């Protein structure tokens, strides 16, 4: 019988929620890493028991955790857990938490680039945390990390060590990238199941980028985006993209929740057009695609960039069955009064059971689930810490 495992990252720890295929009764495990910020957890499609987690703290920095038993136990990759170790000989341990930006050998080891600071001056890159972890679709030991300040790192040894993929920051547009309110973060990584050399990323606030050569080189893919909050609304880079999503069977079609505007691309990001349609507001953070219907997409409209909560205090998921423009509110089981939570960019996911399950978490600590593609909703848990991220594993 199928099972579902929901991985929830919160402001104060991680939680693992499990259910059978009916998705009506849930077991809650956690908090794992209590007291730490868990920005993101994601499981490998190659080995579902392999889960990577980004554990972070303003005091103690970045920790990468890995589970090889479906979230029951965790270790820092490459570092023996438990008792005091004899000082290690040979390869240094504790490398799994080390994210060091690439430097330019031809410039004598100087930083690859700088970025725009809040006051318009140029500022060096400073590593803060891992926002998003994306396991490879073909190798459980290969995993990508999107970090703040924005860059992409790769590990090919199960997270034991990480190296920056410098082609992204080496693109040359770095001086025009700038931090959004949440920092300058690389938060979205979409791998193309049909073309292992192609991937998409998105950065707040720089925009979306694509590589077609496995990460050696990247191009901005922001044509069609219009952002009134930057000097040139049609600029090549500088857009505050909040999240991007694609259906695995149709990876050339991308959907984007921008700071304002819901966008769509039918040509792998080369051009975008707006599909906000009849949404009550097109500000928001999450966007996701139905597991079996590539034209069915979901967003959670948020009132504005100044008021990060649902319009009218009504928590509504909007679904489009037409790939955008025509949207219907989904409200059954969701609070329709006095609700002032937010749904952050990585806090929505779908399962792949016959009746597609949709899941999202709120800054109020609720994780809602629908086992019928959004028609009806029920909370799995109501009182977690603020939810940063939600991922789902469909297990056979």
Q: Which residues bind another protein (CB under 8 A)?
A: 34-36, 57-63, 76, 79-88, 92-95, 97-100
Least distance from C-beta 67 to another protein, angstroms? 15
Least distance from C-beta 2 to another protein, angstroms? 34
Least distance from C-beta 97 to another protein, angstroms? 4
Reported for 111-116, long-range contacts at CB under 8 A and 24+ positions apart, including other chains, are 112/166, 112/169, 112/170, 112/174, 113/169, 113/170, 113/172, 113/174, 113/175, 114/174, 114/175, 115/149, 115/150, 115/174, 115/175, 115/176, 115/177, 115/178, 115/179, 115/184, 116/175, 116/176, 116/177, 116/178
Main-chain phi, psi angles of 224, to 5 degrees:
110, -20
80 burial via Cβ count (<10 Å: 0-12, 13-18, 19+): exposed
Least distance from C-beta 94 to another protein, angstroms? 3
Least distance from C-beta 360 to another protein, angstroms? 24
Residue number, 67 or 97, with CB nearest to another protein? 97
Least distance from C-beta 36 to another protein, angstroms? 7
Residue number, 94 or 196, with CB nearest to another protein? 94
Residue number, 335 or 385, with CB nearest to another protein? 385
What is the rounded CA–CA span in Å between residue 269 and residue 201? 11
Residue number, 34 or 249, with CB nearest to another protein? 34
Least distance from C-beta 159 to another protein, angstroms? 13
Residue number, 99 or 209, with CB nearest to another protein? 99
331 burial via Cβ count (<10 Å: 0-12, 13-18, 19+): middle
Nearest CA among 369, 375, 377, 290 for reference residue 335:
377
Q: Are 187 and 200 in contact (CB under 8 A)?
A: no
Residue number, 16 or 254, with CB nearest to another protein? 16
Per the listing, tokens 């029951």 go with 72
Residue number, 10 or 211, with CB nearest to another protein? 10
| Beta bridge mates, 63 | 55
């Amino acid at each position: 019988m199928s099972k579902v495992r929901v991985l929830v990252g919160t402001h104060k720890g991680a939680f693992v929620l499990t259910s059978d295929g009916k998705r009506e009764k849930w077991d809650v495990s956690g908090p794992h890493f209590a007291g730490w910020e868990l920005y993101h957890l994601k499981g490998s499609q190659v080995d579902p028991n392999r889960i990577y987690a980004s554990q972070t703290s303003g005091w103690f920095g970045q920790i990468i955790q890995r589970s090889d038993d479906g979230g029951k136990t965790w270790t820092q990759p490459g570092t023996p857990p438990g008792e005091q170790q004899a000082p290690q000989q040979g390869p240094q341990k504790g490398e799994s938490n080390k994210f060091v930006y690439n430097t330019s050998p031809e410039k004598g080891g100087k930083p690859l680039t700088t970025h725009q600071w809040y006051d318009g001056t140029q500022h060096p890159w400073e590593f803060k945390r891992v926002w998003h972890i994306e396991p490879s679709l073909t190798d459980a030991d290969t995993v990508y990390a999107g970090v703040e300040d924005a860059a992409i790192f790769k590990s090919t040894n199960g997270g034991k060590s990480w190296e920056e993929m410098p082609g992204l920051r080496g693109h040359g547009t770095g001086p025009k990238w700038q931090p959004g309110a949440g920092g300058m973060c690389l938060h979205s990584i979409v791998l193309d199941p049909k073309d292992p050399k192609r991937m998409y990323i998105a950065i707040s606030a720089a925009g979306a980028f694509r590589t077609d050569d496995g990460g050696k080189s990247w191009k901005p893919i922001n044509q069609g985006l219009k952002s009134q909050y930057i000097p040139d609304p049609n600029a090549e880079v500088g857009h505050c993209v909040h999240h991007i999503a694609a259906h695995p069977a149709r990876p050339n079609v991308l959907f984007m929740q921008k700071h304002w505007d819901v966008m769509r691309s039918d040509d792998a990001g080369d051009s975008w057009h707006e599909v906000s349609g009849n949404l009550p507001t097109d500000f928001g953070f999450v966007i996701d695609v139905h597991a079996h219907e590539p034209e069915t997409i979901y967003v959670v409209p948020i009132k504005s960039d100044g008021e990060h909560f649902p319009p009218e205090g009504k928590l509504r998921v909007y679904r489009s069955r037409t790939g955008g423009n025509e949207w219907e509110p989904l409200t059954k089981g969701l609070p329709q009064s006095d609700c002032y939570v937010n749904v952050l960019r990585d806090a929505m996911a779908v399962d792949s059971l016959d009746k597609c399950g949709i899941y999202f978490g709120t800054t109020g600590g609720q994780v809602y689930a629908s086992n019928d593609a959004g028609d009806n909703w029920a909370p799995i848990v109501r009182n977690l810490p603020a939810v940063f991220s939600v991922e789902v594993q469909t297990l056979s």
